């Protein structure tokens, strides 16, 4: 493992840019191709790359599996939370127009609602992808 200098240095240089690119894809999804699904996968790809190069043990120190599991569940909660919030503010479930004063400007609420649910999708997809990778990589081969 120690002689793969180019791989290790390359990973260290690339990882922050992959994470930043994921955030760009997330928040630029309104204006161009992208959104929560793609951003979540790219965000997870940074950790998968780290685990492939530095080994699963080090990756688990950076990103414990429990955090990934919680992320996977929290994203759904965030999504549902946006839906219930618009319900408690007088609209229908997931009717984001009611998130802010609907008489004033319903598109305001729509915009924040979409940002909210995209955040939920990002968190779920990220957590699920990292958890799936850990599940497969953490299992040892049995020779029968």
Partner 1 sequence: MISFTLFNYWAVIVLMMVGFYTLISRDNLVKKLIGLNIFQTSVIMMYVSIGKITGGTAPILMESGDHGGEVAVDAGHAAVEVLYSNPIPHVLMLTAIVVGVATLALGLSLVVRINEAYGTIEEDEIARKDNAR
Partner 2 sequence: MTETMVQLVDVVLLVLLAITGIAVIRTRNLFVAVMLAGIYSLLSAGLFVVMDAVDVAFTEAAVGAGISTVLMLGTLALVGYKESAPTHKPILPLFVVLVTGGILVYGTAEIPPFGGADNPAHKHVAAHYIHDSEEEIGHIPNVVTSVLGSYRGYDTMGETAVIFTAMVGVLLLLSRGPLPKRIFHAGQWHTVKAGTTREDMVAKFGGDAGPDETVKDGPARTEGGADG
Binder among 32, 61, 88, 104 for partner 2 (CB under 8 A): 32
Phi, psi of 46 (to 5 degrees): -60, -45
Residue 27 engages partner 1 in binding (rule: CB under 8 A): no
Token pair 């994470």 in the structure block, residue: 19
H-helix segments, 63-139: 65-88, 106-137
Q: What residues numbered 58-117 form the site for partner 2, per CB under 8 A? A: 65, 69, 72-73, 75-76, 79-80, 83, 94, 96, 106-108, 110-111, 113-114, 117
Number of residues lying near partner 2 (CB under 8 A): 54
CA quadruple 122, 125, 127, 129: dihedral sign: negative
Q: What residues numbered 2-31 form the site for partner 2, per CB under 8 A? A: 25, 29-31
CA quadruple 59, 64, 69, 70: dihedral sign: negative
With CA atoms as reference, report the closest residue to 122 among 47, 37, 65, 29.
37
The Cα 76–Cα 123 span in angstroms is: 8
Give the residues lining the site for partner 2 (CB under 8 A).
25, 29-35, 37-38, 41-42, 44-45, 48, 52, 65, 69, 72-73, 75-76, 79-80, 83, 94, 96, 106-108, 110-111, 113-114, 117-118, 120-121, 124-125, 127-129, 131-133, 135-142
Give the residues lining the site for partner 1 (CB under 8 A).
31-33, 35, 37, 107, 125, 128, 132, 135-136, 139, 142, 144
């Amino acid at each position: 493992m120690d002689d793969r200098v180019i791989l290790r240095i390359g990973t260290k240089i690339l990882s922050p840019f992959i994470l930043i690119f994921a955030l760009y894809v997330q928040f630029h999804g309104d204006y161009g191709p992208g959104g929560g699904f793609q951003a979540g996968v790219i965000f997870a790809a940074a950790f998968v790359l780290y685990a492939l190069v530095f080994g699963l043990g080090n990756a688990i120190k950076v990103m414990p599996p429990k955090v990934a599991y919680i992320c996977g569940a929290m994203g759904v909660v965030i999504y549902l939370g946006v839906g219930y919030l618009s319900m408690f503010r007088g609209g229908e479930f997931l009717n984001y127009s009611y998130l802010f004063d609907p008489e004033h400007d319903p598109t305001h609420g729509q915009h924040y609602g979409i940002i909210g649910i995209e955040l939920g999708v990002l968190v779920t997809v990220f957590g699920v992808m990292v958890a799936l990778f850990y599940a497969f990589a953490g299992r040892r081969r049995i020779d029968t």
